[in-house]
């Protein structure tokens, strides 16, 4: 009996690829470049399953052109805003994601970005690296202290809670906004805010951990940024769509936002070159989950979902 054909459009971890090749006929590319719409449509006639990343876009137009052979899209990501779930569901294509396994890795990057932005890491690194560090005084490179500060967390799902755990290690006061209030055992003393309007004024630091949905696009904009205390620090390790980048740039230029730590952008790959002019913006190329252990776990979680599907079982992480 022939094995199902699996298309993997991007380089994945060695362990993930080895397992996939053990159990499936695998078509893959040795590249970090996202699969294009044309490639996705063409491969749907050759593959029974796909294991894409967040930058492979399954828009309604692409989905309408998919070959009936394609049965399952097992995303190598937690986020699924790149998939038109309604269109895929109408075509009978199963879609899954990889929750749980990347929470700590992403929370680590959020903590790195928060500390780096607050303590002027970009500027300090440049001074030392270029040989421009030639003086010192008590007023030199003074930043914003994290310990004991108030942190506002938007989205208290798995990643948000993992970040809150790490923030407690710095003695931070945890405030959060979520669609629903957490039970006490998960809340762990954090202060719940039903709206951004009450959360933002409390946030010396603000960290975004909510999904990108039509309701959360440009969640941080000129109006909401103005609600933050003067000198706040903004961190985004969730999705670039959450931030109105022009508004954030203006808030940084005006000094209302003291610094920002960004791991995701409206345009990816590439980011927003306008941020590069600001030493108080600490940027990373969307590597929140980029640890060896997490990449293996994400790949294996996606394969678990594919395995279940072809075994006639319900994939654990089915979205549609």
Which residues are catalytic, by number? 239, 268, 286
| DSSP 8-state code for residue 231 | T
Pull the structure tokens for residue 201.
């004024």
Q: Which long-range contacts (CB under 8 A, 24 or more apart) does 175-184 make?
A: 175/150, 175/151, 175/199, 175/202, 175/203, 176/152, 177/152, 177/153, 182/156
- By CB atoms closer than 10 A (0-12, 13-18, 19+), residue 169 is exposed
Q: Tell which residue, 138, 94, 117, has the closest CA to residue 308.
A: 94
Contact partners, residue 264, CB within 8 Å, separation at least 6: 236, 237, 238, 239, 240, 286, 288
Helices (H), the chain: 14-23, 37-43, 60-64, 85-90, 103-118, 121-129, 158-168, 184-187, 196-199, 222-226, 245-254, 292-310
Backbone dihedral angles phi then psi of residue 107, each to the nearest 5 degrees? -65, -35
One-character DSSP codes across 81-137: TTB-HHHHHHTT-EEE---STTHHHHHHHHHHHHHHHHTTHHHHHHHHHTT------
Distances (CA, A) of 117 to 42, 236, 266: 43, 11, 20
Cα atoms in the 13 Å half-sphere on the side-chain side of 105 = 19
Pull the structure tokens for residue 301.
């979680």
Q: Tell which residue, 35, 64, 65, 38, has the closest CA to residue 52.
A: 35
């Amino acid at each position: 009996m022939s094995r199902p054909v699996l298309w993997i459009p991007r380089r994945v971890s060695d362990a993930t690829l080895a397992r996939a090749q053990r159990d499936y006929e695998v078509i893959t590319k040795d590249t970090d470049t996202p699969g294009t719409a044309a490639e996705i449509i063409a491969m749907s006639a050759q593959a029974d399953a796909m294991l894409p990343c967040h930058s492979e876009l399954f828009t309604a137009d692409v989905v309408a052109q998919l070959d009936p052979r394609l049965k399952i899209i097992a995303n190598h990501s937690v986020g699924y805003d790149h998939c038109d779930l309604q269109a895929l569901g109408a075509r009978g294509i199963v879609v899954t994601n990889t929750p749980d396994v990347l929470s700590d890795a992403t929370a680590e990057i959020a903590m790195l970005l928060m500390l780096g932005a607050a303590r002027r890491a970009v500027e300090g690194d440049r001074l030392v690296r270029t040989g421009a560090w030639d003086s010192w005084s008590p007023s030199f490179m003074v930043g914003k202290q994290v310990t004991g500060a108030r942190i506002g967390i938007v989205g208290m799902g798995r990643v948000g809670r993992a970040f809150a755990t790490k923030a407690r290690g710095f003695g931070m006061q945890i405030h959060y906004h979520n669609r629903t209030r957490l039970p006490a055992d998960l809340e762990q003393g954090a202060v719940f805010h039903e709206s951004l309007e009450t959360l933002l004024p409390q946030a010396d630091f603000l960290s975004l951990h909510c999904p990108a949905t039509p309701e959360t696009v440009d969640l941080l904009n000129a109006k909401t940024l103005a609600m933050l205390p003067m000198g706040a620090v903004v961190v985004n390790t969730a999705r670039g769509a959450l931030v109105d980048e022009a508004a954030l740039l203006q808030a940084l230029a005006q000094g209302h936002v003291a610094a920002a730590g960004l791991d995701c952008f409206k345009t990816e790959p590439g980011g927003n070159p306008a941020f590069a002019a600001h030493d108080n913006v600490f940027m990373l190329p969307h590597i929140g989950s980029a640890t060896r252990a997490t990449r293996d776990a994400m790949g294996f979680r996606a394969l678990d979902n594919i395995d279940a599907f072809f075994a006639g079982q319900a994939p654990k992480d089915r979205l549609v």
